[in-house]
Amino acid sequence: METDLRSNVIEEVRKVVVGREEETGLLLVSLLARGHALLEGVPGVSKTMLAKAFSKCLGLGFKRAQFTPDMLPLDIIGGLIFNMKSREFELRKGPVFTNILLADEINRAPPKVQSALLEAMQELQVTIEGRSELLPVPFMVMATQNPLEFQGVYPLPEGELDRFMVKIKLPYPSKLVESAIIKRNLSPMDLDAVQQVVSQPELMEIFSRVEEVKVSDEILDYLASIAQETRSDQRVSLGASPRALVHLVHSSRANAYLDGRSFVVPDDVKRMLVHVLTHRLKLDQSQILRGSTPDVDVLIREVVERVKPPR
């Protein structure tokens, strides 16, 4: 059932998005761990289609919000609108009221709009005119981000970045995959081809199963040691936060479940580590200027290889 779920989701998404199996698997881990995902890649690497197909095969509600520089928080969470007919204020819910919200190009919106998502992401509710409204369950923000070198982008504040469980990088596809993408696009893309692989009650059952996945004390110590190691590394100015560890343990659980296990092994942690830490670690600027710091992902891998897992 567990491993079937991963392969079934990947199989369905593959019908419309070619060569994104790894990324699809990570999205599933993030969803089952009740986390949010940050997708980073240049325009045109199937980020939106991936999100749509993923939501469809899980039978989840999906909405997309295109973030722009002139956007207001109201455009995301909604607000009270005066109804001329009934002469009353009515709640008009924003696109955040869905299961999967695709926040497209999140870093094009000004910080106050980005912050509007914070409450939704953390508390699973929004406050409109002092009234708290619960969001549907499950709720997941899938935000796409353009690389910072692009024009007209605002960097996401660390506090908001920390709320994303994983960052999934979507690089350009290989030549072989690119040929397949072009071939696929010769005929119209049909999202209807994507079939739902799990029902809503089954999905809810899976969420509770993931929460039952055992994490031994030694694995918890291992996680803490990794965090300490990131903080003591001279090349890092901001190491892993406690929230990062919470996200790491939840995502490791979801990965263990999808691998058909009822307990977490060090390999689950190692598999999720780069995706959970890559957007959280800040490298020391002086070391970067000296050119002595590798890419952050390489650094994370170096750090974890210095920490002995429980054996």
Partner 1 sequence: MVFLDIAIYVSLAFGIVRAVRMIQPQVRDTVTAFGFLEKALRKKFPDLPAGFTWREGVERARLLNLKVSWEEIQGALAQYERFRYGGGSKPEPAPAEVVKLARILSGGVRLGN
Residues forming contacts to partner 1 in the complex (CB under 8 A) are 214, 216, 218-219, 261-267, 270, 304-311
Angular region, 141: left φ>0, alpha ψ -120 to 50, beta rest: beta
Cβ neighbors of 247 (< 8 A, separation 6 or more) are 33, 35, 165, 166, 276
The answer to whether residues 118 and 157 touch, using CB atoms and an 8 Å cutoff, is no
Q: Which is nearer to partner 1, 83 or 262 (CB)?
A: 262
Q: Which is nearer to partner 1, 74 or 245 (CB)?
A: 245
Distance CA(201)–CA(16), nearest Å, equals 26
CB of 263 to partner 1, least distance (A): 3
CB of 228 to partner 1, least distance (A): 14
Q: Which is nearer to partner 1, 183 or 306 (CB)?
A: 306
State the sign of the Cα–Cα–Cα–Cα dihedral 242, 243, 246, 248. negative
Q: Which is nearer to partner 1, 152 or 310 (CB)?
A: 310
Distance CA(48)–CA(31), nearest Å, equals 16
The answer to whether residues 75 and 94 touch, using CB atoms and an 8 Å cutoff, is yes
Q: Which is nearer to partner 1, 225 or 237 (CB)?
A: 225
CB of 310 to partner 1, least distance (A): 7
CB of 279 to partner 1, least distance (A): 22
CB of 256 to partner 1, least distance (A): 9
The answer to whether residues 240 and 230 touch, using CB atoms and an 8 Å cutoff, is yes
CA-based nearest residue to 194, from 291, 51, 39, 46: 51
CB of 218 to partner 1, least distance (A): 7
Q: Which is nearer to partner 1, 20 or 235 (CB)?
A: 235
Q: Which is nearer to partner 1, 23 or 268 (CB)?
A: 268
Q: What is the CA radius of gyration of the chain?
A: 20
Q: Is 57 exposed, middle or buried (0-12, 13-18, 19+ CB in 10 A)?
A: buried
CB of 267 to partner 1, least distance (A): 5
* Pairing status of strand 88-93 against strand 166-169: unpaired
